[in-house]
Amino acid sequence: MLPRIPFRILLPFLLLCETCMVPARGEHRPDAPLKSRPPRYGALSVTDGRLTGSDGQPAVLHGVSLGWHNWWPRFYNEKALKNLHKKWKCDIVRAAIGIEPDGGLLNDPGKAEACLETAIRTAIRNGFYIIADWHSHKRHPEEARAFFDEISRKYGHYPHLIYEIFNEPTDDSWPEVKAYAEEIVRTIRANDPDNLVLVGSPHWDQDFHLAADDPLTGPEAGNVLYTVHFYAADHGEYLRERVRYALGRKLPLFVSECAAMEASGDGRLDYAEWKAWEELLSENGMGWVAWSVSDKDETCSMLTPAASSEGPWNDDALQPWGQFVKKRLQALRQPARSVKKRPTTARNR
Ligand code: MG
User: CB of 229 within 8 A of CB of 255?
Assistant: yes
Overall domain count for the chain:
1
In a domain, 323, yes or no: yes
CA 115 – ligand 1 centroid, Å: 21
CATH of the domain at 156: 3.20.20.80
Q: Is residue 177 part of a domain?
A: yes
Assess if residue 288 is contained within a domain. Answer: yes
The full length of the chain comes to 349
Task: For 251-265, write each residue's pLDDT tens digit.
Answer: 999 999 999 999 999
CA distance 15 to 318: 44
> Is residue 7 over pLDDT 60?
no
Dist. CA 164–CA 188, nearest whole Å: 11
Q: What percent of the chain has pLDDT over 70?
A: 86
> Catalytic: 168?
yes
- For residue 96, the SS3 value is strand
Active-site choice (164, 182, 220, 257) = 257
Of the two residues 15 and 119, the one the predictor is more confident about is: 119
Residue-wise pLDDT tens digits, 35-49:
999 999 999 999 999
Helix (H) or strand (E) holding 123: helix 109-126
What is the torsional sign of CA 82, 88, 89, 90? negative
Domain residues for the domain of 173 are 47-332
Q: Which residue, among 157, 97, 87, 159, has the nearest Cα to 123 in the 3D structure? A: 159
Protein residues placing their CB within 5 Å of the ion ligand 1: 156, 192, 194-195
Which pLDDT does position 45 carry in this prediction?
Answer: 98
pLDDT digits (tens, 9 = 90+) for 214-240: 999 999 999 999 999 999 999 999 999
Q: How far is the CA of 70 from the centre of ligand 1 (A)?
A: 28
**In percent, how much of the chain has pLDDT > 90?**
85
Confirm if 175 and 144 have CB atoms less than 8 A apart.
no
Q: How many helices (H) and strands (E) does the chain have?
A: 10, 10
3-state secondary structure of 131: strand
Determine the distance separating the centroid of ligand 1 and the alpha carbon of 271, expressed in angstroms. Answer: 37
| All residues at 6 or more sequence positions from 336 whose CB lies less than 8 Å from its CB, including other chains | none
Distance 156 CA to ligand 1 centre (A): 4
Chain-centroid distance of CA 340 in Å reads 36
Query: CA–CA separation, 293 vs 55, rounded Å?
Result: 31
pLDDT digits (tens, 9 = 90+) for 197-208: 999 999 999 999
In a domain, 24, yes or no: no
Q: Which of 164, 168, 273, 278 is catalytic?
A: 168
> Domain for residue 75, yes or no?
yes
Q: Provide the sign of the torsion angle of the four alpha carbons 104, 233, 291, 142, taken in this order.
A: negative
β-pairing, 62-66 vs 50-52, is unpaired
Instruction: Decide if 131 is inside a domain.
Output: yes
Peptide bond connecting 312 to the previous residue in cis, omega within 30 degrees of 0: yes
Q: Does residue 232 form part of some domain? A: yes
pLDDT digits (tens, 9 = 90+) for 158-216: 999 999 999 999 999 999 999 999 999 999 999 999 999 999 999 999 999 999 999 99
Residue 33 pLDDT: 79
Has residue 348 been placed in a domain? no
The SS3 of residue 106 is coil
Range 60-84 average pLDDT: 98
Does residue 27 surpass a pLDDT of 70? no
78-86 vs 109-126: helix crossing angle, rounded to 10: 40
> Are residues 303 and 67 in contact, defined by beta-carbon separation less than 8 angstroms?
no
CA 194 / ligand 1 centre spacing (Å): 5
Give residue 45 CA to ligand 1 midpoint distance, Å.
10
